[in-house]
Amino acid sequence: MLRKVIFLLSVSTVSLWGCSDTKPNLEAMPLEQAAMQAQTPSPEVSYLTRDPGPGRLTPEILNSDVSLSGTSLRGAKISPKGDFVTVLQGRTNDAKQQDLWAYDLESGEGRLLVSSTDILGAPEELSLEEKNRRERRREYSRGIVSYDWAGDDLLLFPLGGDIYLYDLKTKEARQITATKGFETDPKVFGSGQYVGYIRENNLFVKDLDSGLERQLSDGATELIRNGIASFVVQEELDRYTGYWPSGDAKKIAYTQTDDANVKTRTRAEYTSGGIINVEQRYPFAGTPNATVKLGIVGIKGGATKWADIGQDKDIYLSRVFWSQDSKTLFAGILSRDQKSHKLLKIDPATGDSEILFEETHPAWMNVEVSYKGLKDGSILWSSERNDKWQLFRISTHGETSGEFTPITPPDILMTRLNCVNQDSGAVYFTGWKDSPLERHIFKTDLDGGETLRLSQSSGIHSANFNTDCERYIGTFNSTSTPPQSRAFKNDGSPLAWLNENKLDGSHPYAPFMEADIQPEFGVLKASDGTDLHYQIFKPLDLKVGEKRPSVTIVYGGPHGQRVYNRWRLGLSQMLAHHGFVVFQIDNRGTGNRGKAFEAPLYRNMGRPEVEDQEIGAAWLKSQAFIDPDKMGVYGWSYGGYMSLMMLGQTNDYAAGVVGAPVTEWQLYDTAYTERYLGDPNPGSPNYTTGSYEQSNVWPYLDGITEPFLLIHGMSDDNVVFRNSTKLMDEMHKLGAQNMQLMTYPSEKHGFRRTHNKVHRSRLILEFFLTELE
């Protein structure tokens, strides 16, 4: 309260003196009054504003249902005949509500195929499993969120818990399933003849020609689930499915997970309508995981053949895929300590297996992002064995079985395998060579020959190819170009625009273009000489001689690169429009720089990241336009954890906003936490003394003397709300009066409600306006 009173008085004083055209006439005052006025220091000039004026971003504008970035196309797929492309497209007045569209590849003309709201006629109701699945995938859209081709003229998509087919010839959609259960994870296979899906924890297949449905798994209970990836595998290993049809459509491999050993916790979800007590099985670090079995069953049903995936049951089933001839099933087995990753060759007829190869690392193994079976029996596999992600060809038979042959060069970090034409030998992939701030499309061949860059403009490129790699849908964005989509030939030459999204007078961002702030990029050096990339946003009205308050936005955690040459309309621009300088730096431990760049986090979270952020803070303080006494920090999730650690370990910041932070790593899940910190249980071979104690926030709370705002969603099932309640309790024990709190009923880790997102952004802005004034 005292701080607010002082703030209001200072604003009042500035409004009386700072905005006056004349100074007080001391000669006309009584002597004592004149002396008092002369000794009164001039108030500090404020460069911050609560009303940035027209053409500037505000919390309300930033979080509106209308996307300022313009139309965006998702899930682009070239039709089997190659004459048009289908996409998921948000609406002009509601970017989150997606419909199914088609665009002609020659003319670029688009047409609506399926309106998501017309089919249901009512708001979509999602099952708990589907809600959780979308939360794991960070899927925040509504309506049609996925689809697939089912032959040349049929498109299949899930909506409202059922599955539909759209017929391009009749231009009508028909319902394929109509059950009380909720069908999830649909997949089309067998040249469009079959669709697989999960219902009530069992695997089903439907023949689209005959209409016959078969249940292929059994034994499902609330704890035993067939064809569904476990929570931790979805959240931390990016495997979102639990079944895989073979290429010849004769067999399906599927998982059976058992959550019986996973610790049950009661999580209270606070909503405006009351409190819901949720019994959730959550694998806290150091506690048992779900166990998993891998089975193979025929497309017509029958007994499941369970594969031999090893005697050790305490493992992660990381990846599963078929050989091109469907005679071999491959399964990735990641050890519990994540230092070993094996690829098994499995005979689907007997379930017998053998180890094709094993990769190890003294710190941890990241799970590969690209893999594919080839017609000669070999496989493509991405690996960090040479530090950066590379694509390798691996023989699976004979004397050379298990040998790695590089396909992509070691100086290009590959982020995604896009397409392989086995007849021509052409391989297309995405990655970066010259700068980690960009992503480009490259072409090489299966013999590891010359590599060519196909994309030209500086920024972020991605590509979706058709099946024979002759054409692709390229997407592009940069700091000055909102997301665009265009068709290309496989040599990179452009075809029709699908979504030029041109920044002209009709674009949603047009009213804000005059005040657009382009970030400046630069490089600093870590203590070991490693390059640390940063970006800085400066207010447009910044003048020579001014010293501005600043906000550092931090994430800082694994796989968390934030400094890109990409389009962004977020908190950075909004804060800069209100007068702040905004700074961001990618410390060691973040992603897409190679394994050596990540490794400092091993058994050591919360210290090397802070050390690098201090280097950024020192550079920021040295700039003539920065007020070193008015620097703030903001972060969410791992960034919230980093905000606490930066406030507690340094004296660089005057205030901070802490969003959904991990405060005690024993409260986070097994796969993520143990990868970096090991097992918290003494006596475990994967235990390291002090790794958890030194990485938790508790030893550093005494150092947090600055005011900070704590924010958390009260239904968060990822970074559970208990992290924040423990922080509140510890701060109370210290007698601290510098913590403010805002909680949000019904919100999980990623906010979904527009009014809450507006409120959160406004709250963050007001906090920094008050504390850094």
426 residue type, one letter: A
Please give the Cα distance from 3 to 22 (Å, whole number). 30
Q: What is the dihedral of CA 231, 232, 235, 236, to 10 degrees?
A: -170
576 residue type, one letter: A
- Element housing 152 (H / E): none
Tokens 């920021």 belong to 620
Out of 461, 533, 712, 749, pick the active-site residue: 749
> Of 498, 478, 501, nearest to 486 (Cα)?
498
- Would residue 749 show up in a list of annotated catalytic residues for this protein? yes
Give the list of residues 6+ apart from residue 12 with CB closer than 8 angstroms, or none. Answer: none
Out of 318, 637, 691, 761, pick the active-site residue: 637
Give how far Cα 691 sits from Cα of 35, 284, 666, 677, Å: 61, 16, 11, 6
What is the DSSP-derived secondary structure letter of residue 561? Answer: -
609 is written with which tokens? 């990241």
Give how far Cα 112 sits from Cα of 99, 109, 116, Å: 8, 11, 11
Please give the Cα distance from 481 to 69 (Å, whole number). 9
In order, the DSSP letters of 72-124 are: -EEEEEE-TTSSEEEEEEE-SS-TTEEEEEEEETTT--EEEEE-HHHHHSS--
Tokens 């964005």 belong to 477
> Of 134, 131, 133, 163, nearest to 150 (Cα)?
163
Grouping H, G, I as helix, E, B as strand and the rest as coil, residue 359 is: strand
Give how far Cα 284 sits from Cα of 260, 269, 280, 288, 718, Å: 14, 19, 11, 8, 11
353 is written with which tokens? 């297996």
Grouping H, G, I as helix, E, B as strand and the rest as coil, residue 483 is: strand
- Would residue 716 show up in a list of annotated catalytic residues for this protein? yes
Grouping H, G, I as helix, E, B as strand and the rest as coil, residue 267 is: strand
- Would residue 637 show up in a list of annotated catalytic residues for this protein? yes
Tokens 């600093």 belong to 524
Grouping H, G, I as helix, E, B as strand and the rest as coil, residue 317 is: strand
Strand pairing class (426-432; 84-90): unpaired
Please give the Cα distance from 69 to 511 (Å, whole number). 12
- Element housing 722 (H / E): helix 722-733
594 is written with which tokens? 């190679």
Give how far Cα 450 sits from Cα of 8, 360, 635, 719, Å: 66, 29, 42, 45
Please give the Cα distance from 103 to 108 (Å, whole number). 6
Out of 716, 717, 724, 761, pick the active-site residue: 716
What is the DSSP-derived secondary structure letter of residue 693? Answer: H
Tokens 């010293």 belong to 547
462 is written with which tokens? 């991605």
Please give the Cα distance from 327 to 246 (Å, whole number). 9
Task: Give the catalytic positions in this structure.
Answer: 637, 716, 749
